[in-house]
Structure 1
Amino acid sequence: MEFSQYDDNNNLSLTKFESMLKTNNVLFFDSNEFENIIHHYLDNGKIALAKKAITLGLQQHPTSVNLKLFQVEIYVFENKLDKADELLNNLYEIEPTNEEIYIQKANIFSKKDKHQKAISILKQALEITEDSADIFSLIGMEYLFLDKFEEAKHYFMKCLEADQEDYSALYNIIYCFDFLEQNTEAIDYLNLYLDSNPYCQVAWHQLGKQYFSIKDYKKALTAFDFAIISDDMFIGAYLEKGKVLEKLERYEEAIENYKITLAIDDPTSFALLRIGKCYEEIGQKDLAVQHYYKTVEEDPLLDKGWIAITNFYNKAQNYQKALYYINKAINIDSENVMYWKLYAQINQRLNFLEEAERGYKKTLELGNYELKTWLSRADILIQLGEFEVAILTLDQTLEFYPDNEEVQYRLSGLHYLLNKEDLAIIHLSNALRINPEFYFIIEELFPAIYALKSVREIIAKYRNPSS
Structure 2
Amino acid sequence: MSKRNKDKLLKKMEKQMKNGNFKRVIKLADEIIKSNSNQSEPYIYKFIAFIELKKEIKAFNIFKDILNNLSTTKYIGVLLEYLIEMKEYDKANELSKETYKLDSDFYDYLASILLENIEFDNSIDFINYLDKNSPCWEDIYFVKANLFSKLEMYKEAIDACDEILKDFPNHENANSKKTFCLMVLERDDEFKEITEYRIKNNIRPNWALVDKGGYYLKKGDYDKAISLVDEALKNKPGFGYALFSRANFMYLKNKDLNEILDYLNQSLEEHDPRYYDVALDLKYDVLNDLGREEEAEKVFEERINNFM
Determine if the TM-score, normalized by the shorter chain, exceeds 0.5: yes
Q: Is the 8 A contact 1:156 1:172 kept in 2?
A: no
Shift, 1:235, TM fit? 1.8
1:330 maps to 265
2:57 maps to none
Q: What amino acid does structure 1 have at the position aligned with 2:262?
A: N
**Equivalent of 2:161, from 224, 234, 242?**
224
Q: Is the 8 A contact 1:273 1:305 kept in 2?
A: yes
Distance change (3 Å), C-alpha of 1:199 and 1:179: closer
Q: Deviations over 1:345-367 (max 9, x none)?
A: 44654xx54xx245325436x63
Distance change (3 Å), C-alpha of 1:286 and 1:182: farther
Partner SS for 1:138: coil
Q: Deviations over 1:417-458 (max 9, x none)?
A: xxxxxxxxxxxxxxxxxxxxxxxxxxxxxxxxxxxxxxxxxx
Q: TM-score, normalised by structure 2?
A: 0.61
Q: What amino acid does structure 1 have at the position aligned with 2:171?
A: F
**Equivalent of 1:161, from 81, 94, 102?**
94
Identity of aligned residues (%): 14
1:291 maps to 228
Contiguous gaps of at least 5 residues in structure 2:
30-39, 45-62
Partners of 2:299 and 2:179 lie apart in 1 by 34
Q: Is the 8 A contact 2:43 2:65 kept in 1?
A: yes
Partners of 1:230 and 1:258 lie apart in 2 by 19
Shift, 1:324, TM fit? 1.0
Distance change (3 Å), C-alpha of 1:208 and 1:341: closer
Distance change (3 Å), C-alpha of 1:312 and 1:212: same
Tell me whether 1:89 sits opposite 2:4 in the alignment. Answer: yes
Distance change (3 Å), C-alpha of 1:249 and 1:358: same
Shift, 1:227, TM fit? 0.9
1:308 maps to 245
1:123 maps to 42
Q: What amino acid does structure 2 have at the position aligned with 1:230?
A: D
Q: Deviations over 1:255-277 (max 9, x none)?
A: 33233333444745543332222
2:209 maps to 272
**Equivalent of 1:139, from 75, 97, 113?**
75
Q: Is the 8 A contact 2:157 2:181 kept in 1?
A: yes
2:128 maps to 191
Q: What amino acid does structure 1 have at the position aligned with 2:238?
A: P
Shift, 1:219, TM fit? 3.8
Larger Rg: 1
Pairs within 5 Å for 1:429-448: none
Q: Is the 8 A contact 1:272 1:292 kept in 2?
A: yes
Shift, 1:163, TM fit? 5.3
Contiguous gaps of at least 5 residues in structure 1:
1-86, 93-101, 371-467
Partners of 2:260 and 2:279 lie apart in 1 by 10
Q: TM-score, normalised by structure 1?
A: 0.43
Partners of 2:96 and 2:118 lie apart in 1 by 26
Partners of 1:176 and 1:163 lie apart in 2 by 12
Q: What amino acid does structure 2 have at the position aligned with 1:122?
A: E
Distance change (3 Å), C-alpha of 1:159 and 1:369: closer
Count of paired positions: 261
Distance change (3 Å), C-alpha of 1:161 and 1:277: same
Partners of 1:360 and 1:270 lie apart in 2 by 29
Partners of 2:160 and 2:186 lie apart in 1 by 18
Distance change (3 Å), C-alpha of 1:132 and 1:268: farther
Q: What amino acid does structure 1 have at the position aligned with 2:93?
A: L
Distance change (3 Å), C-alpha of 1:323 and 1:295: farther
Shift, 1:128, TM fit? 6.5
Distance change (3 Å), C-alpha of 1:176 and 1:362: closer
Partners of 1:157 and 1:172 lie apart in 2 by 18
2:183 maps to 246
Distance change (3 Å), C-alpha of 1:106 and 1:183: same
Partners of 1:199 and 1:337 lie apart in 2 by 31
- Aligned CA RMSD, in angstroms, stands at 4.8
Partner SS for 1:233: coil
Q: Is the 8 A contact 2:67 2:95 kept in 1?
A: no
Shift, 1:343, TM fit? 5.2
Q: Deviations over 1:204-257 (max 9, x none)?
A: 423333333444444433332221222233222211222232233222322332
Distance change (3 Å), C-alpha of 1:115 and 1:253: farther
2:53 maps to none
Q: Is the 8 A contact 1:255 1:275 kept in 2?
A: yes
Pairs within 5 Å for 1:93-108: none
Tell me whether 1:359 sits opposite 2:295 in the alignment. Answer: yes
Q: Is the 8 A contact 1:208 1:219 kept in 2?
A: yes
Shift, 1:170, TM fit? 5.0
Q: Is the 8 A contact 1:262 1:268 kept in 2?
A: yes
Partner SS for 1:178: helix
1:210 maps to 147
Distance change (3 Å), C-alpha of 1:339 and 1:199: closer
Pairs within 5 Å for 1:306-455: 306-318=243-255, 320=256, 322-330=257-265, 342=282, 345-346=285-286, 348-349=288-289, 353=291, 356-357=292-293, 359-360=295-296, 362-363=298-299, 367-368=302-303
Q: What amino acid does structure 2 have at the position aligned with 1:325?
A: I
Partners of 1:293 and 1:345 lie apart in 2 by 23
Distance change (3 Å), C-alpha of 1:282 and 1:187: farther
Q: Is the 8 A contact 2:170 2:203 kept in 1?
A: no
1:39 maps to none
